[in-house]
Chains A and B, each alone.
Chain A
Amino acid sequence: DQQVKQNSPSLSVQEGRISILNCDYTNSMFDYFLWYKKYPAEGPTFLISISSIKDKNEDGRFTVFLNKSAKHLSLHIVPSQPGDSAVYFCAASAGGQGAQKLVFGQGTRLTINP
């Protein structure tokens, strides 16, 4: 069973506009959520995280929103830059602050067009 789902395999956005990546989860025990970015032939790079006690966390151009009732989170990137082109994974864990195993979605390939 896929406990974390990213239903959009790909997304194309114009440079300078907002990119919105979505993620849904089914396990109500998840209490910590992360977004990672991955370039080809590299490991995932941590971007931003959010605890279930919050509904928003912001870091520069990146903002993560959490809607617990809908079991949905999203990553907003604004403004989008060409270097943001990569595969983005959302991940979730139960037990606080990612100290346990992470459950990943399938990923969304983001392409930023000049």
Chain B
Amino acid sequence: DTGVSQDPRHKITKRGQNVTFRCDPISEHNRLYWYRQTLGQGPEFLTYFQNEAQLEKSRLLSDRFSAERPKGSFSTLEIQRTEQGDSAMYLCASSGGRLIGETQYFGPGTRLLVL
């Protein structure tokens, strides 16, 4: 396993459309995190899972956002009725491996542009 992967790497959509992003964590990692990064800022926490349970959600995660992690493996982040303010880089991270410990390792991100 070479690391956290995310798909797609880039997404351009029109305002009002729904988008879905996928994250595949490092195998055996039981924790998975979603962050959002806008220009000139550091990543901001959105939500995190331990196995399939969603344990914490940020107030940034409006009701248009939903994240799932079925079977505790990959995760999806869906944004419904996208708005221009949703344009950002969406980052996924994982941690909790027996050998690696709790350090969060990030994927390459999905860059979303809402027109």
Chain A residues close to B by CB (< 8 Å): 4, 6, 34, 36, 41-46, 49, 89, 91, 96-107
Contacts and interface: CB of A to CB of B under 8 A. Distances in A.
Contact-residue size bin, chain B (C-beta under 8 Å from the other chain): 20 to 34
B43 A104 contact: yes
A91 B106 contact: no
Given A43-B4, A99-B31, A49 B103 contact: yes
Contact of B48 (A4, A36, A101): A101
26 contacts: A4-B42, A41-B108, A41-B111, A42-B108, A43-B91, A43-B93, A43-B106, A43-B107, A43-B108, A44-B106, A46-B103, A46-B105, A97-B103, A99-B31, A99-B95, A99-B96, A100-B48, A100-B56, A101-B48, A101-B56, A102-B33, A102-B43, A103-B45, A106-B42, A107-B41, A107-B42
Contact of B102 (A6, A41, A89, A97): A97
Given A42-B109, A43-B93, A101-B58, 20 more contacts: A42-B108, A43-B4, A43-B106, A43-B108, A46-B103, A46-B104, A46-B105, A46-B106, A89-B43, A91-B42, A97-B101, A98-B103, A99-B95, A99-B96, A99-B102, A101-B45, A101-B56, A102-B33, A105-B42, A107-B40
Contacts of A89: 42-43
Contacts of A96: 102
A102 B45 contact: yes
Given A43-B109, A98-B95, A99-B95, A106 B103 contact: no
